[in-house]
Structure 1
Amino acid sequence: MQPIIEVHNLRKEFKAYSSRTGLTGAFRDLFTRRYKIVSAVNNISFKIQPGEMVGYIGENGAGKSTTIKMLTGILTPTSGHIRVNGMNPHKQREQFVRTIGVVFGQRSQLWWDIAVQESFRLLKKVYRVSDEDYEQHMSHVIDTLDIAPLLDKPVRKLSLGQRMRCELAAALIHNPPLLFLDEPTIGLDVLVKLKIREFLKEINRKYNTTIMLTTHDMTDIEALCERVIMLDEGKIIYDGELERLRQQWAEGKEIQFRFDRTVNHLTLRQITVHLPVEWSPTEKENVWLAKVNNEQVISEVIRQVAGQLSIVDMQVNQISTEEIIRNIYEEGIKHG
């Protein structure tokens, strides 16, 4: 099967200017500028097959958005090879954009002062979608995203959650085979996130839409993506199944304790001093997490704590994907 996205040795460099210090330095900068070459994306290669939902993840500055901008034709690569939907994104720009949908969480493709439905009509003309195709496809999209009551409202009067649902609908007016989502749920409440996730699953199932998702919200990745590509300093450090990543790095479990009173870190360490456990506080009052790498000592940790402290509630959880990925970055582990 022909990949819908094919990237080989992709590289993007930027010229970064550095200013000299002091008044003399500022004067010298007027005539000669010092600069260095910064590599935002550094020789990455991957393929994505039609129908895949792939999480593209990494810390701020890892090169995620730069990659997406090259894949969508906004930026021209410094070097390397890109084929998306069988085309070169930046050389076949006009033809190419009709085959993709893009949602940038912090940028809008809707016109601010006109009604949402007028923006939809304008985009329908831009993408040359027939009346029949528009009605057939968009009636389903509008109904599923529950945006019919919003269509006659100006975009500026919508809440963030309402606007993001409309942005997603706008990206799908031409029913593209490939959808790029860059932080699509940023700042949204839980109910809106759930609605958007369910909708994305449905269009993937119904239309075999390929989705490439970049986000810092790991619950989005866990809910939608079986495969993740992890980026660090412009290089791919992991490309594979999310479940395999969990199996490789999710050693042990977390025990969440909620106590009836305030407990400090020193007390907990003293109670479990002879056990291999790491304690960390949470944002919730009187709630602590005990990370246990050896699952065989879980019962002993619970027994020791329960013997000396009053436990209001307790649960044993798998180590979260967010915790796994944070540990990988903090420990500097590089896996390709």
Structure 2
Amino acid sequence: MSNGLIVVGEEVDDYAYIPPEYFEYCKKALLTPDLKKSTDFIFDSVSSFDNEHVCVNDGTSVYFIDKELEQSRKLPKLPGRGEFIKDGELIRGHLNGKMTVLDTKGRILAQNSGDIDLGDGVVAKKQIKLPTPAATLSCPVISGMKDNSIEKRINDTIYYEMVEAYEDLVRFDGPENTMYVYSTYVITREKNLILIDQNIFTDLLGAVHGYSYRNTICIDTETGVKYGLADLFRTDSGAWEYLSTVVSGQVREKMDEMGYFTDEIVIGPDTPFAVKQDGIVIYYTAGDIAAYAAGMQEFFIPYADLSEYIDTEGDFWNAFK
């Protein structure tokens, strides 16, 4: 490290394959250069801060250790997870997933909160969950609504859809079973409809490649109801047959370019979709209908082509049109 300390990772099986990335997340100990003093294996991460200190995380706090393995009295101890470097008289880095600038007393001078103003006094506050050293799950928390019960219903739905639904992906059980998980999202509002577009990237350490998921959520701010694709169309309108025909046609047009696994796409109520201003997007994550290297596949259908099928009297349509 920059101050001369030595970092040692936890003991592992010499005969097993150890993904190099595992060292970034496993428990670590610090030793002085003469090897006469050491800590226990208590640190999730260690990074250089300046020529005198390193920045460490012990699972609950972020703080700074000097060349003698003593916690600095001149630098702060902060709750949560973080990584910082010295920038003149300032401390700059990330605290609990948010870009942060501190003074040496630990006072936050600037922070990228990630909060989004959705209008009418409604704010989407960014919440970050850090269940393991290798996992970061982000989701918005809605505040400022006039009806507290609807606000709670919306937040419960968001948390389930964006965090709880992916908890099974979070694994931290040694070098052979550790999953890197990182999620981001974009949140917007169209009239009375909250639109969330979430992306989740996962990587089982040592695997050939990671895997990406996309999750879109449409929630009515007036009722707290989460809408699905079926809510957009009249019952028995023939929408599924039409969408299947259109998307299959787009697949055939790009078959030579993308190398799709099939040229017959069946669209139904559970097919993932995204709402746009002038149409909907049917999407498939990488590897679903084409080779993983082809990436996510999207198929756009304008509302003008769906006028025969859309339930223009329905709650979903009128929430954003």
TM-score normalised by L of structure 2: 0.24
More helix by share: 1
Query: 1 or 2, which has the higher strand percentage?
Result: 2
The normalised TM-score by structure 1 is 0.24
